[in-house]
Structure 1
Amino acid sequence: MNLRSVPAAIIATLMMAALAACSDSGNESNSSSANAENEGQNWRYAHEEYEGDVQDVFAYKFKEYIEDNSPNTVQIHRFGELGESDDIMELTQAGVLQFVNQSPGFTGSLIPEAQIFFIPYLLPVGDEKIVSFFKNSNAINDMFPDLYEEQGLELLAMYPEGEVVVTADEKVTSPQEFKGKNIRVMTNPLLSETYRAFGATPTPLPWGEVYGALQTNIIQGQENPIFWIQSGGLYEVSPNLIFTGHSQFVTAMMANQEFYNGLSDDNKKLVQDATAYARQYIFDYVPGLGDKMLKKIQQDSEEVTVTRLNEAQRQAFRDRAPQVEAKFIEMTGERGKQLLDQFKADLKDSTAAEE
């Protein structure tokens, strides 16, 4: 099924049906009795991507570990089955879902500090450097969990999905060439600030509207990692791929905190071990994925162009990053500044460790 063509009413019906099913089994799945644990629980997990995409691979590795090492089961809901990203977050906070994968691009309205990932040219785009950072960062592993806890969420993992690539209706090599272009962004104030700094007009849209908006020229471009551009068919309606080197796409896997806190020690350890297993698999899986998906795109369409900005061209965009950083601090205050300082220290440490 091509989810781009599913009417909103059908998605709403699917969501209502899933809600009813979840409600019927909610007491059983959250039971803390010894008998329920022995028999196993059914846990529900939603993410934002299509079959075979990075979040889907992570979710199924998590499911694999849980089901191989316990009587528990995990039911996966892919993009569109329960609505958009905001919908699955609401369902998780309400306790209808036990686990969720959501990009900080959408979590930014709940957790402003999570927008740090949208400061351009902050994170490296090289695979080895980014993996080292996520494994060892104090900001990621020590500071972020407290921020998510405030929203009733147990942060279990953050991981990168690949370099962000811009697609547009024509080649773009400078901020001046972005002028007058409506570029789709997630509903994230700081990402909007990034594209304003880059010279474009940021246009927030939910994912389900992006393909049609590109097709009808309501927007003239968007950004995503290559695998998502390929699986979502975005290159069909936005064929000019521009590697600006400005960002990595990051996602977070979370649990409803009340559910998580109610687990036995054994099940908590099971969840933690399953998360570590899935995250390590993704650390090994993502490097090289972008190149592989780019080849698929180029094989499928002769209209696709690939523009990789040279250092001088990137510098023109990089020079505009400080105003985005200043906006981040303005939005998040002292806590955001402390997080940013720790980010920079962690990035420096990870680079030094490689050298």
Structure 2
Amino acid sequence: MSSLSKFKKVAGFSAFAFAAMTAANSVNAATWRYAHEEYEGDVQDVFAYDFKEHIEDNSDHTVQVYRFGELGESDDIMGQTQAGILQFVNQSPGFTGSLIPEAQIFFIPYLMPTDMDTVIEFFRESEAINKMFPELYAENGLKLLQMYPEGEMVVTANEPITEPADFKNKKIRVMTNPLLAETYNAFGATATPLPWGEVYGALQTNMIQGQENPIFWIESGGLYEVSPHLTFTSHGWFTTAMMANLDFYEGLSDEDQKLIQDAADYAFEKIIVHIDGLADEALEKIKAASDEVTVTRLDDEQIEAFKARAPQVEEKFIEMTGESGEELLNQFKEDLKEVQKD
């Protein structure tokens, strides 16, 4: 055989092998769909793109991210995830609470601390977060990959709030979450569940007189434009969770499962850096954009007046969730005691 013939034969074999390898890779590669509840550049969006970055840098898979409204509201994207249309979803316990009642624990006021270092340590070390919650989510067809904080909750209203009496005759928008409604009713308001897409218009037309959210969301959603009086009540942090469809996850190879968990851990480490100082930046943007905004930070005495109403919300949580909720709450408190002691 001539050298030229040998070359053609080798070249042909190499081309065939390359084509076969490429075909095999394309079969193994997948496009995974991931939806969250926020806008471009918001915390959940940053987390999603950090997750996407790790997946795509370390595999042939790709991740398609869908933001708020592109596939519907929060309930819609959860339904699509449970049906297997989406592989991943990021949803706060504020909405997941109707599916997993125990997830409402984050809405017991004054249960969580508000200093960031303690909050982050809690999410890292908590047995309730890292062992008990995954089991509860799995019972509902979801693989809990990561829970993480987004920011301290801030109340906006049509006038400053300094005491429970200021909530009288005010309709305060809450997520479709029974325990959060209980919290604002305990504070003296009339809790009014509304989907996010209706909040701005309802504030603008005085159908509701206030709402709560982390400060970055108040800024990015323009809520201060129609609800300009901001009150820092120190009653809790906004928490969210990233999940996968459980059947999808369990059908993956060990290698891909590890890839996904590593990507979720990578995104967690990136997001806790991202949220450090984010609230202050957002508040400065709000102040620069509007002369009507007022900022009230409750002092210890004022906080105590609200905190005194928290036990009735805790009792309601146990009533809603039974023995499993009480066990989770006890572990939650133990975990918090440990991180606060350290």
TM class by shorter chain equals over 0.9
CA radius of gyration, larger in: 2
1:308 paired with 2:297, answer yes
Q: Distance in 1 between matches of 2:264 and 2:78?
A: 19
1:139 paired with 2:118, answer no
1:230 paired with 2:219, answer yes
| Deviation for aligned residue 1:39 | 4.4
Q: Distance in 2 between matches of 1:283 and 1:334?
A: 33
Q: Distance in 1 between matches of 2:242 and 2:25?
A: 25
Q: Report SS of the residue matched to 2:131.
A: helix
| Deviation for aligned residue 1:35 | 3.5
1:279 paired with 2:268, answer yes
Which one of 134, 141, 159 corresponds to residue 152 of structure 1? Answer: 141
Which letter maps to 2:263? A
| Deviation for aligned residue 1:132 | 0.3
Other-structure match for 2:14: none
Other-structure match for 2:33: 44
Other-structure match for 2:233: 244
Q: Distance in 1 between matches of 2:97 and 2:50?
A: 27
| Deviation for aligned residue 1:285 | 1.4
Q: Is the 8 A contact 2:25 2:60 kept in 1?
A: no
What do the CA deviations read for 1:82-127 (whole angstroms, capped 9, x no partner)?
0000000000000000000000000001000000000000001111
Other-structure match for 1:103: 92
Other-structure match for 1:318: 307
- Unaligned regions of 5+ residues in structure 1, if any? 1-33
Which letter maps to 1:176? A
- Unaligned regions of 5+ residues in structure 2, if any? 1-22
Q: Is the 8 A contact 2:32 2:62 kept in 1?
A: yes
Which one of 171, 174, 181 corresponds to residue 170 of structure 2? Answer: 181
1:162 paired with 2:157, answer no
What do the CA deviations read for 1:139-198 (whole angstroms, capped 9, x no partner)?
000000000001100000000000000000000100011000000000000000000000
Q: Report the TM-score when normalising by structure 2.
A: 0.92
Other-structure match for 1:336: 325
The runs of 4+ residues in structure 1 deviating greater than 3 Å are 34-39
Which letter maps to 2:243? M
Which letter maps to 2:141? G
Q: Distance in 2 between matches of 1:218 and 1:81?
A: 26
Q: Report SS of the residue matched to 1:52.
A: coil
Q: Is the 8 A contact 1:185 1:223 kept in 2?
A: yes
Which letter maps to 1:265? D
Cα RMSD after superposing both structures: 1.0
Percent identity reads: 69
Other-structure match for 2:8: none
Q: Distance in 2 between matches of 1:283 and 1:118?
A: 21
| Deviation for aligned residue 1:37 | 6.8
| Deviation for aligned residue 1:40 | 1.0
